[in-house]
Amino acid sequence: MNNENAQMSINRTKIYFFMRESLKAHIDKFDGKFLNGYFLSKADDEEDVFIFRDDVLGEQHIFLQEIKRIDNFRAPKDRPKYNNF
């Protein structure tokens, strides 16, 4: 098994764990973007497509192939507090 397939297998296992335990996840994508939120379910009849609810973007489909890394969500410790939002 090559590194890419091994990482996809690890990510798939993590997705099912985060879904089962209802844990908040941090996702790094290959396009340099990231998501924070919850995996809700697997999309019907699709093996590697999942429904994810991001804190900012809301509910969306995410493909296993676009995920670089999945970790536990950790709230930023030293994020400056701005009042312009």
Tokens describing residue 79: 């994020």
Contact yes or no for 18/39 (Cβ under 8 A): yes
Q: What is the longest distance spanned by two Cα atoms in the chain?
A: 50
Domains recognised in the chain with CATH numbers: 3-72 (2.30.30.100)
- Say what percent of the chain tops pLDDT 70: 89
Where does the pLDDT of residue 84 fall: very low under 50, low under 70, confident under 90, or very high at 90 and above? low
Backbone angles phi and psi of 11, in degrees to 5? -60, -40
Query: What pLDDT is recorded for position 3?
Result: 81
- Sign of the alpha-carbon dihedral angle for 29, 22, 10, 49: negative
In the three-class reduction of DSSP (H, G, I as helix; E, B as strand; rest coil), residue 21 is classed as: helix
